[in-house]
Structures are given as structure tokens and as C-alpha cells.
Chains A and B, each alone.
Chain A
Amino acid sequence: MKKFGIALGLVASLMGSAVMAEAIKATPGGAVNLVLLPKFLGILPFDQADRGAQEAAKELGNTGTYQYIGPTPENSAAGQIEMLTTATTQKQGVVMLSNNAGDQIAAVAEAAQAAGTKVVTWDSPIPSGKGESVFVAQVDFGSIGVVMADMVMSMTGGAGEFAVLSASPDAANQNAWIEAMKKTLAEDAKYKDLKLVDVVYGNDQSEESYNKALGLVDKYPDLKVIMAPTTVGIVAAAKAMQDEKLCDKVKVSGLGLPAEMVSYTMNGCAPEFALWSFVDLGYLTTYTSYMLATGAIKGEVGETFTAGRMGDFTIEADPGREGAKRVLMGPFTVYNKDNVEAASK
């Protein structure tokens, strides 16, 4: 049975590559009302996604409206639920959602779909996949786990204690990455001397993350690396280590924006970190949403489409969420002293 499944998978992927040759193209000039709804407003990655979304909307000649709206950080989950409800009332075409409300938003997303407003998630999906048309994934969540583990490996020299400083305890994306990292650590013997001592949450607030980072150092005297898979957390942790002159002892790594991380990479506080382009993520999400709303694609597994300058993408089953679908963007870049300055400009 398993073999049969693999065979089916092979056939499907062969068919996928066959279709690849005739990827579906968008018909420009359609009217789709788009809403880009980030977790909250006020941090750089989401503004970059906004830039990419605007670029795509312009390129597509979309005659519909485009709104970039979001809640305040302290009201993120309730605010997103409210804004998605409002967008449904407004009969918006597609809401592009970086979900921070977990499954609490699923019922509202299902109501949106029933009323004709599509919900395309990006950055962070709806965990159960309910009410979601498709998820535009930045990178394969499993591969983030490997990259995180490898960065810890290279910074500790292969052995030692490290801790994770994450965003909110409910962020579906961060939680999935941390799980993927734990799995990587457990499965490959080369990581056997790395010890994950704690996972703490700074809720993507600078000050809270800063204090949590210092708390980790106090609690674990032998800590070698703080792994922060969030752009807010990594900057706060690097600043905390720099302020306390701890950079020789505790290194910071994770997911960060080159522009915000360049000084910490050059001074050795955060010698290595990774990220993907949020501009591209916003761009690809907008192409996917536009093509879904105009009916060019149906949002079914196996469909391949062309997203402007970024090339061809195929909708596939999401391996991390049963029954859900994703478009995988990838890959991501590891930044260090050699390339961070160029990328930060």
C-alpha cells in the first residue's frame, strides 16, 4: 500500500512536471479587491511584504482596490478576527492573511469563504487549514529546522547548550519551525552533543524579547547560543548580548533582516543568521491571490502557474498540515560577514 502511495506520488510529480511546461499565466487587467492583513503593523518584514504585494498588483494591472491594514500588536488576534469579518462584509475579493490567531480565526475564515471572500495565508497559516484557500509558504518548514540546527552547530562548534527565543506561544509558523528543529536534532546523530535547554517567548515585542534573552543568560550559565526564529527577537537578543558585553560567550542566531542585523554580524554578536525575502513573499502571495480570484487557477493540488518575475510555482499538499495546500516559495539565504553588508543596502 505504501509502495502504491509512493508510485502515485511519482506519477503525480511527473504529471506536475509535464504541466510545468504549460504553466498557467495570469490575465492582467482584472478587478480583484485585495487586502493584505499582516499579524500586526509596525515591523519591517510586513512592510516589505506590502511593497512586494503592491509591485505585483501594479504589474498585473489590477483595477480593483488594494488595502494594507492590520491590528496593533497587543490586539493582534482579536484585531485580525475583526478585520477579516469586516473584509467579508465589504465583499473583498481576497484577504491575504499572515495568521496570528491560530485556529481561533478558522470559523471566521470559513464564513468569509462562504460569502465569497477568499482567504490566502502567507508567512503563517491557519493550523487546521480550515477556511484557507491555499498557504503561500516562505520555505519548507522542515528545511528551516535543518538550517536552524546547522547554525547552532557551527556556532557552538558542535557541542553545548542553546535556547530558543521565539515570538508568541501561538505563532503557528515559529512553533512549526521549532518542532522541525527538535526533530532534526533528534534524528541525526551529528547533533547529539547539542542541548536545547529552554524555549521562551518574547511575543515579538522588543523590550520583552530583550529581557527574555537576558533571563536566559542568567538562568543557564553555560548557554552558548540563543536561537531566535523571529526578526524582532533576534535583534533584541543581539542588542542585549552587545549591551551586556556577552557576545564572546553567547552568540545569537536565527531569522533576521540583513538591514537590522548588519552591525551585530560584523561585530560578532550574531555571526550567522538566515532569512527569505518578504518582498518576494508578498509578491508571490498577490499573484496567487489574483489568479485564484480571477479563476485562472482553482487552488487545486497539481496546478502550476507563473508568478511574474519569480517564475513557475505548483500548488501541492502541505506536508505539515493534513488536508491543507501550499505554494512553496523558497529558498532562503544564510547571511554572515561575507554577504550581510551587500544585502543590507
Chain B
Amino acid sequence: MRLKSWEGMLALLFLATLAANAVLAPEFLTLQNQINLFQLSIEKIILALVMTLVILNAEIDLSVSSVLGLSACVFGYLVHEGVAAPWAVVAALMVGPVAGLINAVLIARMGIPSLVVTLAMLIMFRGVARILVKDQSMGDFPLWFTTLGQKGFLGPIPLSLWLFLGFSVGLGVLLHRTGFGRQVVVIGTNAEVARFSGLDVARVKTTLFVMVSSMAALAGVLYAARLGSVRGDAGVGFELDVITMVLLGGVSIFGGKGSMAGVILSILIILNLRNGMALTNITGHIQTGVIGVLLILSVLGPNLWERVRRG
């Protein structure tokens, strides 16, 4: 019931943002702007979808932005070295499961907290990415590759946006309609209880960390395609935006509570709010501040609501 109300609040906030944008910024409702709005943050939003499952499971993955950067740099480096782009894509995507398994072994098998492990990996993977491409930009990717990242795929909608739609539905179903999804939430609520009731906690956690890293590697390839050029700093700081989207969506940082619908609403709110502020020429510092306030409210909101309800 509490969650339903939070999603209701988010839906209202989303509609309010839409209305304000439509009134204040004449360009807001153009098709190109609507596409740009998703395109500009595409890597973050597909990551937020999987991060939802990780946080519901009472874990966190801070290393996603560095896995993204490493994947993008592996791609850029290999193309630069003369490897055919399709093979470079395959190699870049492989970064995901490998990084995910490293995280998973340390977290699920050795029992080190994910906050610590993924913080270390955030630093390490970024280091590897920077070593790989040094201080250069690597670009000159094949035209078909950048076209995929920048132009319409089916109609005017770019490939990455189709992917986002597909993942939204797919991961929503996985979370709310399958046994695996229920296990994720049960373990997130109380891992001890879950273990005693015979759930393979380590296996579920391993699956989640491999999933989120694989998505990060895919995001890295999309990043390279969208910008047509990569550098060692690709995606720096994205992890915080991703986690913000998940938390604003009403997912509890302690795990167990939250829904995919909430996170998708939160993504829509953040993207539209940023876009509206940009179109009305509000500068970067204020944009960041507004998102910060929103996040605090999103954490305070459900708590206050709970207190009011309990009298």
C-alpha cells in the first residue's frame, strides 16, 4: 500500500514536470527533443533498470561506470589497433561477464561487502581503461557503428531506445513475475532467513552482479556508438546518477522494497526535469542541486508518509 502511494506520487510529479516543460519550453514536445532526452542518458537509464534488482537484493554496484568505461575503451583500443569492429564489439561485451564474475566471487563467495568490493573495482577498472587508451581520444569508428548509435533504427527511434523499452518490460517481468525475481526480493529482505529456507543466495547474487556488469559493458558499446569517440574518462560519475534514479524510484537502500514501475517513473521524471531545465537555460549547478533535493525528498518522503500513517 505504501509503495503504491509512492508510485502514485511519482506519477503525479511526472505529469507536473511534463506540464511545466510543455508550457515553459516550446521545443519540449518536438519528436527530436523527446528522442534526445532519452539518448543523452541512455547508458544511465538501462543501467538503472538492472541496478534496481541489485539494490532490491540489498547489494550495490558502484563499479558500473568503470565497467562501462573499460568496455568503451576496449572497443576503441581494438578498433584503433585494426581489429574489425564486430569483433571489437564482442570483446567489449565480454568485459561485462568477466568483471561481474570478479565482483561476484568476492561478494557472494568470500562475503566481502559489495560497497567495498565495487568501490575497489570502480577504481581498478577505470585504471585499466586509462592505461589502455592513455590520454588520447579514440575515434574513427566505422560508419555503420556510429549510425546505429546516432540515427533512427526502426523509424526515427534509435536502437538504444528500443533496447531500453525491451529491457524495461523484460526486467519488469523478471522481477515481478518469476521465481527468480521473488528470490531477489526475499534475499534482499532478509538474507539469513532466505538461506535457512534453502535458497541459493550466492547463486542469485552472482547472477545479479554478472547481469549488471554485462549491462554496463553493453552501455559502454552504446556510449562509443553514440559519441563516435571514446576516452579514458568515458562514463565517469555515472554510477551516482544511476543509483539516484533507483532510490528516487522508491527502492529501499536496505533492499527488499521497491518496484520496476517506480524506477521507470523516476527515470522519466529525472530525464524530463533535466531536459526542461536545460531548455529554459538553467545552468549546470542548479540542475545538480535540484536533483539532489529531489533525492533527499525521495528518501524522506516514504519515511514521513509512514510516520503520518502510523500517527
Task: State whether A69 touches B229 (Cβ < 8 A).
Answer: no
Is there an interface contact between B279 and A89, defined as CB atoms closer than 8 Å?
yes
Contact of A330 with B by CB under 8 A? no
B27 / chain A contacts, CB cutoff of 8 Å: 89-91
- CB of A67 closer than 8 Å to a CB of B: yes
A107 / chain B contacts, CB cutoff of 8 Å: 146, 150, 226-229
Is there a chain A Cβ closer than 8 Å to B137's Cβ? yes
User: Cβ of B229 and Cβ of A102 under 8 Å apart?
Assistant: yes
Taking CB as reference atom, which chain B residue is nearest A83?
A: B278
> In the complex, which residues of chain A have a beta carbon less than 8 angstroms from the beta carbon of B227?
81, 104-105, 107-108
A53 to chain B, nearest CB (A): 15
Interface SS majority for chain A: helix
Residue A86 is within 8 A (CB to CB) of chain B in the complex: yes
CA distance A102 to B136 in the complex (A): 9
CB distance from B297 to the nearest CB of A (A): 21
Q: Which of B223-268 contact A (CB under 8 A)?
A: 226-234, 236-237
CB-based contact B137/A41 at 8 Å:
no
CA distance A196 to B237 in the complex (A): 32
Residues of chain B lying within 8 A (CB to CB) of residue A169: 135, 232-233
Q: Which of B69-93 contact A (CB under 8 A)?
A: none
Q: Is B33 an interface position by the 8 A CB rule?
A: yes
Q: Which residues in B have their C-beta under 8 angstroms from that of A82?
A: 40, 274, 278
| Contact assessment for B281 and A41 in the assembled complex, using a CB-CB cutoff below 8 Å | no
Q: Say yes or no: is A85 at the interface (Cβ < 8 Å to chain B).
A: yes
In the complex, A168 Cα to B237 Cα: how many Å?
16
Interface residues of B in 26-73 (CB under 8 A from A): 27, 30, 32-33, 36, 40
- Interface segment among B113-121, B188-196, B283-291: the answer is B283-291
A104 to B27, alpha carbons, bound, how many Å?
Answer: 25
- Assign chain A's interface to a size class: 20 to 34
Assembled-state Cα–Cα distance A205/B146 (Å): 33
For residue B139, CB closer than 8 A to chain A, the reply is yes
Question: Which chain A residues border B139 with CB–CB below 8 Å?
Answer: 103, 106, 128
User: Could you tell me the distance between the alpha carbons of A72 and B277 in the complex, rounded to whole angstroms?
Assistant: 14
- Could you tell me if B137 and A170 are in contact, using CB atoms closer than 8 angstroms? yes
Contacts of A85 in B (CB 8 A): 36, 40
B284 contacts A170, CB within 8 Å? Answer: no
Per-residue CB contact flags for chain A residues 103-139 toward chain B (1 = under 8 Å, else 0) read 1111110010000000000000001100000000000
Contact (Cβ within 8 A) A72 B231:
no
A102 touches B288 (CB 8 A): no
> Is A67's CB under 8 angstroms from B281's CB?
yes
Q: How far is the CA of A112 from the CA of B226 in the complex (A)?
A: 15
B103 CB–A CB distance under 8 Å: no
Q: Mark B214-225, 1 if CB is under 8 A from A, else 0.
A: 000000000000
User: Cβ of B284 and Cβ of A41 under 8 Å apart?
Assistant: yes
A267 interface residue per 8 A CB criterion: no
| Contact present for A127 and B135 (CB under 8 Å) | no
* Interface status of B275 (Cβ within 8 A of chain A): yes
With A and B bound together, what is the CA distance between A111 and B152 in angstroms? 14
Establish whether residues A72 and B284, one from each chain, have CB atoms under 8 Å apart when the complex forms: yes
Tally B residues with Cβ within 8 Å of A.
31
Q: Which of A67, A86, A102, A106 contacts B231 (CB 8 A)?
A: A102
Measured CB to CB, the nearest residue on chain A to B41 is: A82
Interface string of A282-317 (1 = CB under 8 A from B): 000000000000000000000000000000000000
Interface string of A58-94 (1 = CB under 8 A from B): 0000000001011110110101011101100111000
Contact between chains at B233 and A69 (CB < 8 Å): no
Taking a contact as CB atoms under 8 Å apart, the answer to whether B279 and A86 are in contact is yes
Question: In the complex, how many angstroms separate the beta carbon of B208 from the nearest chain A beta carbon?
Answer: 27
In the complex, what distance in Å separates the CA atom of A169 from the CA atom of B226? 22
A105 vs B275: C-alpha distance when bound (angstroms): 18
| Nearest CB on B from A116, distance (A) | 13
**Interface status of A175 (Cβ within 8 A of chain B):** yes
Taking a contact as CB atoms under 8 Å apart, the answer to whether B231 and A89 are in contact is no
A40–B227 Cα gap in the complex (Å)?
20
Q: By the criterion CB–CB under 8 Å, are B229 and A70 in contact?
A: no
A53 vs B285: C-alpha distance in the bound complex, in angstroms?
21
Pair B150/A90 contact, Cβ less than 8 Å: no
A75 B237 Cβ-Cβ under 8 A: yes
The residue on B at minimum CB distance from A92 is B281
Contact with A along B95-139 (1 / 0, CB 8 A): 000000000000000000000000000000000000000010101
Among the listed B30, B146, B236, B284, which residue makes an inter-chain contact with A70, where contact means beta carbons less than 8 Å apart?
B284
Q: How far is the CB of A7 from chain B (nearest CB, A)?
A: 34
Q: How far is the CB of A232 from chain B (nearest CB, A)?
A: 17
A111: nearest residue on chain B (CB-CB)? B150
What's the minimum C-beta distance from A176 to chain B, rounded to whole angstroms?
12
Partner of B284, one of A67, A69, A81, A127: A69
B contact residues around A70 at 8 Å (CB): 283-284
Given A127-B137, A169-B135, residue A86 in contact with residue B237 (CB < 8 A): no
Is A71 within 8 A of B284, CB to CB? yes
11 extra interface residue pairs, beta carbon distance < 8 Å, beyond A41-B284, A106-B229, A170-B135: A70-B284, A75-B288, A82-B274, A85-B40, A86-B275, A86-B279, A89-B33, A89-B36, A103-B139, A107-B150, A107-B226
| Leading 8 A-B pairs by shortest Cβ distance | A169-B135, A71-B284, A102-B137, A103-B229, A86-B278, A107-B228, A104-B227, A103-B137
B-side residues, CB < 8 A to A, are: 27, 30, 32-33, 36, 40, 135, 137, 139, 146, 150, 226-234, 236-237, 274-275, 278-279, 281, 283-285, 288
A-B pairs with beta carbons under 8 Å apart, 19 shown = A40-B284, A69-B284, A71-B284, A72-B284, A82-B40, A82-B278, A86-B279, A89-B30, A89-B33, A102-B231, A104-B229, A105-B227, A106-B229, A107-B150, A107-B226, A111-B150, A127-B137, A170-B137, A175-B135
